[in-house]
Structure 1
Amino acid sequence: MDVLINVFIGLHIIGIASLLGGFLTQMKAMSTGTARFTPAMLHGALTMLVTGVVLVGLNQMDGNPVNNIKVGVKLAILFVILCLVYVKRDEEQVEKALFGTVGGLTVINIFIAVLWH
């Protein structure tokens, strides 16, 4: 079971990298007001959602403790990110504030995952 959990942790990190990487590559465009949500950002957020849910299930099946409050907070933040990226995915330009919000929420989600024990 540990190998399977580690595989899904790796996939979860790939999803985070895709979402955050998509944001970081658009930072220069954000300063000029031409940033847009890339497909990689949407796919990264979806990957995070699916692998996160699977990780919770696998850890519970394995008898590992799961902090349900932490998972709920992370899920709520990810849901906001997903909604924003999904709704605005086809627009050629996204407002700076909205684009920055997605980046900020992504970073907050990362820090919650790492620092909240």
Structure 2
Amino acid sequence: MDVLINVFVGLHIIGIAALLGGFFTQMKAMGKGEARVVPGMLHGALTMLVTGVALIGLHQADDSPVNTVKMGVKLALLVVILGLTYVKRDEERVSAPLFGAVGLLTMVNIFIAVLWV
């Protein structure tokens, strides 16, 4: 079971990298007001959702404790990120504050995962 959990953790990190990497590649364009949601950002957020839900299920199946409040906060942030990236995926330009919110919420989600014990 530990190997399977570690595989899903690796996939979850790949999803985070895709979302945050897509954001970072558009930062220069964001400064010019020309940022757009790239497909990798949406796919990364969806990967995070699927693997995160799978990880919770795997931990519960392994009788490991799950901090449901922490997972609920992370899920709420991810739903907002998914909503923003899904709605704005076809637009040529996304406003800088809205695009910045996606990056900020992603980083907050990472810090919650790492720092909230």
TM-score (norm 2): 1.00
Q: CA deviation at 1:104?
A: 0.2
Within-5 A mapping of 1:1-117:
1-117=1-117
Which letter does structure 2 place at the counterpart of 1:43? H
- Write out per-residue CA displacement over residues 27-76 of structure 1, whole angstroms, 9 at most, x where no aligned residue: 00000000000000000000000000000000000011100000000000
Which letter does structure 1 place at the counterpart of 2:90? D
Cα distance in 1 for residues equivalent to 2:33 and 2:107: 21
Identity of aligned residues (%): 74
Cα distance in 1 for residues equivalent to 2:15 and 2:24: 14
Q: CA deviation at 1:114?
A: 0.2
Unaligned runs of at least 5 residues, structure 1 = none
Cα distance in 1 for residues equivalent to 2:52 and 2:69: 14
Which letter does structure 1 place at the counterpart of 2:109? N
Q: CA deviation at 1:90?
A: 0.1
Cα distance in 1 for residues equivalent to 2:64 and 2:38: 36
Cα distance in 2 for residues equivalent to 1:24 and 1:64: 35
- How many residues of Structure 1 are paired with residues of Structure 2 in the alignment? 117
- Write out per-residue CA displacement over residues 83-111 of structure 1, whole angstroms, 9 at most, x where no aligned residue: 00000000000000000000000000000
Question: Runs of 4+ in structure 1 displaced over 3 angstroms?
Answer: none
TM-score (norm 1): 1.00
Aligned-residue Cα RMSD (Å) equals: 0.2
